[in-house]
């Protein structure tokens, strides 16, 4: 597909500088783009490429000052990175809308309810009373269990498993290999030392505009629902346990784990490999550093924590600075001990 600078400017509410008819057919990085490609400049580190790139169109910030001639047509916007992301999203939607129909073989229950202009890939499985919304995409080898719902415009990538009774909202993307709704880790210890399984009777609800990375696992609730609130973004290889709630627009990086019944607030940022114990609350706006171990509730909004066990980020930095100085402090302490002994010896003399 080919678009002109003027057409792109309309899509992202930008202003064209240069030839509005300049065409592009693909995207490229500003440092190595070629004619016919569109690039963007948001990071000042790459500004030098603005004057040498082969890109035909470049999206830049509206306050970007030019230090030399630019061959490309420019589109000025308030935030180049956000505008470029929005453009990629629109392009992806256009491409996705062209993919419709049913590949064979696939199993679709006679009781399933299918929306319009959907795509069902080969070897997909849709169980009893499944509901698939309009424009949804179910890629090959996906499994949608009985009574599960996948709402409008959602994309279920290859190999995703959505267990029975789970609900996926609108404009949700779930990447390959992720499992939604497997049993929570519930086992009751017995007198003889064995463990008796506690049936997991709830489900998982993923609200609108959520993205979940590859090979993540979100366990169904024991009773009630495990909930991923609207706008949340989960990276690859994340474990979310039973009855957890993840708040609106919260982001969780790869390999993090959240234990059962923990409630995570809105706009929380959780770094990679962080671990959070069960039955606690994380306040809105909290920032949890990578590899932190959170063992108690964070009650103050917008707090930043780090370490294991995690505590206040600023205090942790001071502690780290003191730790680095311990060898020098030990040396000074030994010198002081020698000096004190000398003073005491002199005082003891007649």
The pLDDT tens digits for 313-344 are 677 777 777 778 888 888 888 889 888 888 88
β-bridge partners, 27:
38
Is 242 among the catalytic positions? yes
CA distance 166 to 184: 14
Contact 73, 17 (CB under 8 A): yes
- Considering the candidates 49, 157, 171, 242, report the single residue annotated as catalytic: 242
Residue ranges of alpha helices (H) inside the chain are 5-12, 80-97, 313-324, 326-348
The pLDDT tens digits for 101-135 are 999 999 999 999 999 999 999 999 999 999 999 99
What letter does residue 184 receive in the DSSP assignment?
P
- Quick one: CA torsion of 66, 49, 95, 119, rounded to 10 degrees? -130
Torsional sign, CA 9, 15, 21, 25: negative
Among candidate residues 180, 189, 249, 193, the one with its CA nearest the CA of residue 220: 180
Contact 335, 328 (CB under 8 A): no
The pLDDT tens digits for 45-90 are 999 999 999 999 999 999 999 999 999 999 999 999 999 999 998 8
pTM of the entire predicted model: 0.82
Q: How confident is the model at residue 350 (pLDDT cuts 50, 70, 90)?
A: low
Of 317 and 253, the one with more pLDDT: 253
CA distance 76 to 13: 9
β-bridge partners, 205:
167, 227
């Amino acid at each position: 597909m080919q678009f002109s600078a003027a057409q792109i400017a309309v899509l992202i509410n930008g202003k064209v500088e240069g030839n509005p008819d300049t065409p592009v057919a693909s995207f490229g990085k500003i440092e190595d783009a070629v004619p016919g490609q569109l690039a963007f400049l948001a990071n000042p580190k790459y500004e030098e490429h603005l004057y040498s790139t082969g890109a035909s169109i470049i999206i830049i910030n509206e306050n970007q000052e030019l230090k030399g001639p630019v061959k490309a047509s420019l589109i000025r916007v308030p935030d180049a990175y956000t505008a470029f992301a929005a453009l990629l999203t629109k392009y992806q939607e256009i491409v996705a809308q062209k993919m419709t129909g049913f590949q064979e073989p696939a199993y679709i229950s006679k009781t399933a309810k299918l929306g319009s202009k959907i795509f069902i890939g080969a070897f997909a499985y849709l169980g009893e009373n499944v509901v698939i919304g309009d424009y949804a995409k179910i890629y090959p080898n996906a499994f949608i269990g009985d009574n599960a719902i996948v709402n409008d415009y959602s994309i279920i990538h290859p190999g995703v498993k959505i267990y029975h009774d789970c609900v996926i909202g609108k404009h949700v993307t779930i990447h390959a290999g992720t499992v939604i709704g497997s049993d929570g880790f519930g086992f009751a210890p017995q007198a003889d030392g064995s463990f008796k399984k506690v049936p997991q009777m709830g489900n998982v609800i993923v609200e609108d505009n959520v993205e979940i990375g590859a090979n993540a696992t979100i366990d169904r609730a024991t009773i009630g629902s495990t909930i991923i609130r609207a706008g949340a973004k989960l990276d690859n290889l994340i474990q979310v346990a039973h009855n957890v709630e993840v708040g609106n627009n919260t982001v969780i990086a790869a390999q993090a784990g959240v234990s059962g019944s923990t409630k995570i607030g809105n706009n929380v940022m959780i770094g990679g490999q962080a671990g959070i114990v069960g039955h606690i609350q994380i306040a809105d706006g909290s920032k949890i550093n990578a590899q932190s171990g959170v063992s108690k509730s964070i009650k103050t909004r917008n707090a930043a924590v780090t370490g294991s066990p995690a505590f206040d980020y600023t205090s942790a930095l001071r502690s780290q600075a003191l730790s680095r100085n311990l060898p020098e402090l030990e040396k000074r302490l030994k010198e002081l001990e020698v000096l004190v002994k000398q003073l005491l010896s002199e005082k003891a003399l007649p």
